[in-house]
Amino acid sequence: MAAKKVENKIEPSPLSRLSQNIRAARLAAGLTLEQLAGESGISKTYLWELENDESGQKRPSAEILLKVANILKTTIADLMGLPSVQVNKAKVEVSPSLIEFRDMMVTMETPLSDEDLQSLASTRFRGGQPTSKEGWYDLYSALKRATGRK
C-alpha cells in the first residue's frame, strides 16, 4: 500500500502578500513606480524593494504603508490582505428589556429572527443600550428605516 504524500499548506503571512498587493493596487490605480514615489514621497528604490519582497523580509512602518495606501486610495488592511472589519461570532447576552421587546414583536406578529436579536444585543448607541421595550422598538425601527429593510 503506497503512503499518501501529505501537503502542508502554509498560509502566507501578511508581509509576504504585501508585495503582491502593493503592485496590484498600484497597477489598478494606473500609476508607475515613479509616479507613486513622487506622490508619496517614498523613494522609487524602496517601493521597488517592497513590491519585489516576496519573502516578506521588509518591515515597512505604518507611516510608509499609510502614505502608499492613501495614494492608492486603499487601506493598510487591504495592502496587507487583512480583513478591515472583524465580526465577533460569539453569542451576546440579551438584556431583559430586549427580551421584552422580542416578546412584544411576537405579539405584533412580526417576530425577530435570531440574527436580528443578536445584532440588536450587540448594538451600542453612545456607549449604551435602550432600557425599555419601547426604546428597543424605536432603535429597531430607526435601523430598519436606515437600512431600507422591511
pTM for this model (two decimals): 0.51
Question: Between 146 and 107, whose confidence is greater?
Answer: 107
83 near 77, Cβ under 8 Å? yes
Q: Is the pLDDT of residue 84 over 80?
A: no
| DSSP-derived 3-state class of residue 37 | helix
Question: Between 119 and 85, whose confidence is greater?
Answer: 119
In the 8-state DSSP scheme, what is residue 80?
H
Question: Between 83 and 27, whose confidence is greater?
Answer: 27
Segment 68-82 shows an average pLDDT of: 90
Topology of domain 14-80, CATH: 434 Repressor (Amino-terminal Domain) (1.10.260)
Residue intervals of the chain classified under CATH 1.10.260.40 are 14-80
| pLDDT one-digit tens code per residue, 36-66 | 999 999 999 999 999 999 888 889 999 999 9
Q: How many CB atoms lie within 10 A of CB 40?
A: 19
| pLDDT one-digit tens code per residue, 108-145 | 999 998 888 988 998 887 778 999 999 999 989 888 88
Q: Alpha-carbon dihedral of residues 124, 127, 128, 129, nearest 10 degrees?
A: -10
Strands of the chain (E only): list them.
none
81 near 11, Cβ under 8 Å? no
Q: Is the pLDDT of residue 5 over 60?
A: no
What is the pLDDT, as a whole number, of residue 90? 67
